[in-house]
Structure formats: C-alpha cells, structure tokens
Amino acid sequence: MAAVTSVTLSGSNAPLAELFDVALLDLDGVVYIGADAVPGVPEALKQARVSGMRLAFVTNNAARPPQAVAEHLNHLGIAAEADEVVNSSQAAAHYLADRLPAGAKVLVVGTEGLHVALRERGLVPVTSADDAPAAVVQGYSPTLSWQDLAEGAVAIGTGVPWVATNLDPTVPSPRGPLPGNGSLVAALRHATGVTPIVTGKPEPTMHRESVERSGAVSPIVVGDRLDTDIEGANAVGCPSLLVLSGVTGAADLLIAPLNQRPNYLGHDLAALLYAHPAPTGREGGWTCGPWRAEVSAEGGLTLARSGDGDETADGLDALRALCAAAWSVGESAHPDWTVQGRDEPARAELVRLSLA
C-alpha cells in the first residue's frame, strides 16, 4: 500500500466492524489503562467479533511476551489467544533475524518479552556486553536498571547495530503519563552519541509484522496516539480510527499535522460498532450532523449549532466539523487554534470537548 494522509475525516454507512476484516488494536490507552480495561471495551470487542471482525492486539510495549498479554486480556474479560498478540519485540526480532546469522547473540536491554521474541526467530538473547553480541535491542521495561543501560552502552560502543522497539516518550497510567521506552532510549543515545534503528510504530516494520501475523486483507488501525498509531497507519496507506480514551484530546486533533490525521474518530472501541458521518464542505464552512464549523476572519475557529441533521449517538459531530475546518487550512498556517462558540449550545459543546 502507498502512503496516504487524511485531508478530512472519512464516512462509513456501515459499522466499521463490517467494513474491515481485522482491527489492529493498540493496547495501552485503547484496550486498557494500567491494570484495568477501558470501560465498555470487553463488551464492544465481543460484539465486534460477533459482527465478523477479527482482532489483533498490537502494542509498542515490549515488556511482556504474547502469552502474558493474552492472559491479562482474558483476565479483563477480553477473549484473546497468544497468536493474536503482536508486539514491538516481535518486529525487532524479525528485523534482526533478517540481517544476522542464525544463532547470533543479541544483547537485551529490556524484559522477558524481548528474550521470547529473539528465541522465536532463532537468535540468542544475552545480558552482558562481555558475551560479544552481534547487536543490541532495547525495549520498554519498568524495572530497567543503570546496570542494564551500562551493558547496552558498552556493546553499542563496539559499533554493533542498536535496535529500539519504539520511541514512545510515555506510557499511560492511572496516575498520568510515565516514562516510556523513548525516554529510556534517550539516556543511551545521550551516553553513546548513537541513534538507534527503530522498528515499532510508526515505522512500517511494525505494520508489516501485524498484517503478516494476523493475515489481514483489509485492516484498520485503532489507536490513541497520533504520532505512533495514526502516523504509522498513514505511512503504509491503512485506514485508522483514533479513540479518545488514551493520551490524545480534542485540541490535539485540531493541530494534527497531515501525516497524523485519522480517518475516523470515536470515544472508545464502541466506535467499531456504528457508522460514521463524514463532514461536508458547504458555503465556506464544514458541517457534520447539526454542527457547523468554519475559519473566522480573525483566523480562529467558530462553532455553531445549525439545527440541520441528526446528532450521531457518540456526540462527536461538533469535533468532526471542527477538524474538517482546521484541516482545510495549510498545516503551517495555524500552529494553534482559538475556538469560539457562536451560540449557547456551541459554547456548552466546546466546554464538553474541553476546547474552551
């Protein structure tokens, strides 16, 4: 597939679960947050399967092997098998196996998930630079120590390839964002002066791994991050659904660069179960359901309730119209937006969307 980007949001007359054969689901912020499922997600995914959609659980988090992830999902009431889980450890191991001889040693800066993925590809994980590894691979670990980083620094200093599973700066938690693999990779990059090869989202390597393992023909990527999930989907020409249950908020969408704009919006994974309206350009503005948004003469965005059309059940039509209006302007023209409501319903809606 060729790379594509979304100029405006797409519409669907049928539920997404009926349009796409496989949902490539991000986990953190989409399926669960911390130890708990996002409310309503187990029921939504069960219904998506009933509709004929297959699921692949795709995560940049390299800490746990697929079996452990599947067990966690089942504990949350989400039916999942280990072979439905695709993680960035697998993508990194596949990348290295294509370039190293069978049985090559790879220094792991991370947890058991990387060890399992490397063995699956016929490589030998080691934890000391004294083992003369042929490469270094680094993935997220909540227990990573200074000693782990030191071994990585020594091995990288010998000139061997260094692969990072992903560069997510944070991971979501009930307490707020916490340091992710990208923050830990930054420590080694600062210490060594070397930039790693990255295989996780948004790099195409991760998407190819997900499609290969799931057997998807017409997939849709579902995520909560614009700079990994959505950018990765756009890079390979795959439709995407952005859910607002994780790190991305309404204001982030309005300033999303061209390569990070999703095709569909939803509060959560229930968005797989319904049709989606497309914003329509009309008389200098954009409408969706009963809402109209346009770029004002002062260069801001305005929202008004037009009274035409029915509100979509998810209550995101105003945001869809605002996205269409904001995205209709060159992406460098307005690095930020001031959003105003023209009437009382619009002002209340902007407060609900946390845009005022």
Which residues are known catalytic residues?
26, 28
- Contact status, residue 49 vs residue 20, Cβ threshold 8 Å: no
149: CB partners within 8 A, 6+ apart: 109, 184, 187, 188, 191
Closest of 88, 79, 82 to residue 68, by C-alpha: 82
C-alpha–C-alpha distance, residues 86 and 83, integer Å:
8
Closest of 206, 207, 92 to residue 138, by C-alpha: 92
Both tokens of 104, joined, read 């090559």
Both tokens of 220, joined, read 């849709």
CA–chain centroid gap for 231, Å, is: 8
Q: What is the DSSP letter of 332?
A: T
Gyration radius from the chain CA atoms: 22
**CA distances (Å), 221 to each of 192, 266, 269, in order?**
35, 13, 12
260: CB partners within 8 A, 6+ apart: 226, 227, 230, 231, 234
**CA distances (Å), 352 to each of 9, 291, 333, 347, 355, in order?**
21, 14, 26, 9, 8
- Contact status, residue 24 vs residue 58, Cβ threshold 8 Å: yes
C-alpha–C-alpha distance, residues 95 and 261, integer Å:
28
**CA distances (Å), 67 to each of 98, 116, 199, in order?**
24, 10, 21
- Where helices occur in the chain by DSSP H, the ranges are 16-19, 41-50, 66-75, 88-97, 112-120, 146-156, 181-192, 204-214, 231-235, 250-254, 317-327, 344-352
